[in-house]
């Protein structure tokens, strides 16, 4: 099984967080480091992405902030913890983008809206969305990628799927092995 694209180090990979990098709390939120658990072999996968891609970003919807279940400070603490776990395994995320707003909020930066990708491009102007892959486990992740003209990879989930991705894998690690 091979990816249908010729990937070189001019490409960028965008990763969803919950359900892709770490265990997703269905119906809940990761609000503190003790609730954050990396999925199996994720550091190895991200090491591979660091070798193969120019950039590796995380784009994550975090409406727990809007719901006042957690604060931006709580989220930043979780992300520092995630980065430490990854860095201890020689894996690196170049930048994390998050959308704190409610679902269906007007002018939302939440996926599937393209705002987080547009911000990444403004900060890293050499990103080409046609040479980018969005990896996620939900329809909003896949639509985010499609809305920006990216290739899309779905990590299998228990959630109902209404939007087809370009490619499907069982895990981030499986994707890294295919590369």
CATH code for the domain of 58:
3.40.50.1000
Is residue 163, in this structure, part of any structural domain at all? yes
Q: Residue 142: name the closest of 116, 171, 111, 120 by CA.
A: 111
Residue 51's CB: how many other CB atoms inside 10 A?
Answer: 10
Is residue 1, in this structure, part of any structural domain at all? no
Give the DSSP H or E segment for 133: strand 132-136
Q: Which two tokens stand for residue 175?
A: 């994707």
Where in the sequence is the domain holding 83, given as residue range(s)? Answer: 12-178
Block residue for tokens 């092995």: 177
Block residue for tokens 């909020």: 105
Is residue 79, in this structure, part of any structural domain at all? yes
Is residue 128, in this structure, part of any structural domain at all? yes
Residue 4 has pLDDT above 90, yes or no: no
- Residue 14: the pLDDT is 98
Is residue 164, in this structure, part of any structural domain at all? yes
Residue 83's CB: how many other CB atoms inside 10 A?
Answer: 15
Structural domain count of the chain: 1
Distance CA 29, CA 49 (A): 26
Q: What is the pLDDT of residues 21-48, one digit of tens each?
A: 999 999 899 999 999 999 999 999 999 9
Q: What's the chain's average pLDDT?
A: 96
List Cα–Cα distances, 139 to 18, 68, 105, 152, in angstroms. Answer: 13, 25, 17, 11
Q: What is the pLDDT of residues 47-85, one digit of tens each?
A: 999 999 999 999 999 999 999 999 999 999 999 999 999
Return the active site residues.
16, 18
- Residue 119: the pLDDT is 98
Is residue 4, in this structure, part of any structural domain at all? no
Is residue 57, in this structure, part of any structural domain at all? yes
Is residue 174, in this structure, part of any structural domain at all? yes
């Amino acid at each position: 099984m091979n990816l249908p694209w010729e990937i070189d180090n001019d490409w960028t990979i965008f990763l969803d967080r919950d359900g892709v990098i770490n265990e997703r709390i269905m119906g809940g939120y990761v609000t503190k480091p003790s609730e954050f658990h990396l999925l199996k072999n994720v550091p190895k996968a991200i090491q591979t992405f660091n070798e193969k891609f120019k950039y590796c970003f995380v784009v994550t919807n975090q409406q727990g902030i809007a719901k006042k279940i957690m604060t931006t400070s709580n989220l930043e603490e979780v992300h520092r913890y995630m980065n430490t776990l990854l860095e201890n395994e020689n894996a690196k995320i170049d930048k994390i983008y998050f959308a704190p707003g409610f679902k269906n909020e007007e002018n939302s930066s939440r996926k599937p809206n393209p705002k987080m990708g547009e911000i990444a491009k403004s900060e890293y102007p050499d990103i080409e969305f046609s040479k980018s892959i969005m990896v996620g486990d939900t329809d909003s992740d896949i639509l985010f990628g499609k809305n920006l003209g990216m290739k899309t990879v779905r990590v299998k989930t228990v959630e109902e799927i209404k939007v087809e991705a370009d490619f499907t894998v069982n895990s981030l690690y499986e994707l890294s092995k295919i590369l």
